[in-house]
Chain A
Amino acid sequence: MAAQLRNRLKELRARHGLTQEQLAQAVGVTRQTIVSTERGNYSPSVRLALRIARRLQVPLEEAFWLEDEHRQRGAQQ
């Protein structure tokens, strides 16, 4: 089974004081795309993920990660 793509967009967005609509406009998508991405229902393209990470001023892997990678990292630590 494919590893689930997880994210912490909601937390990062709140840190920057951005609404879903503002983040959507900043990265050129609809608010619904941000809603679906935050919920983990929609996996964004690499291009969109990079734009989101850049807007939230974090490295890509801090905004998005694969669930099994997260578990492996936890086990190594």
Chain B
Amino acid sequence: MKRDLRWYYVTRGLMILAWAGLMALLETPREIIVLGALLMTVFYLSLPHSGRYVLRADRPFAPLQRDERERTISSWAAAYAFASLIVLLAAAVLVTSLRGQDTLSTELVSAIMAVGMAVWFVASLWLRRKL
């Protein structure tokens, strides 16, 4: 398999530049822009070497493709996260209504979302070890 990632690096570099330009227009502090651009660069450089993607030479702009095992892991992790969110939201609604309140607080919903993301992350790691 030919592993020509030239267009991948060029397009991701342009995306980072576009993001940095947009942030500059929005008057974001320069340190934040530099840090963000650096993190994005490391992220895009590391992706092809993560072992999680199949490299496809026939798609020069999007050469990284998940294989079936990675898709299975993603689907299951998303399902666990979704199920956790539903259960936690239902519990939150129940507790809130028992307290006689009409609405969920923003902090509580944010916390539930954070738990959902954590479940997705941990489930991904666990499934990667298991499968």
Contacts and interface: CB of A to CB of B under 8 A. Distances in A.
B1 A33 contact: no
A32 B51 contact: yes
Interface residues of B, number: 12
Q: How many residues of A sit at the interface, in one of the four size bands?
A: 10 to 19
Contacts of A32: 51-52, 69
Q: Is the interface of B mostly helix, strand, loop or mixed?
A: mixed
A25 B51 CA distance: 12
Interface in B1-57: 1, 51-54
A42 B67 contact: no
Given A28-B67, A29-B68, A33-B68, A41 B131 contact: yes
Contacts of A25: 1
A32 B70 CA distance: 10
Interface of A: 25, 28-33, 36, 41-42, 44-45, 48
Interface of B: 1, 51-54, 67-70, 72, 130-131
Closest 9 CB pairs of A and B: A29-B67, A33-B69, A42-B131, A25-B1, A30-B67, A33-B67, A45-B68, A42-B69, A32-B51
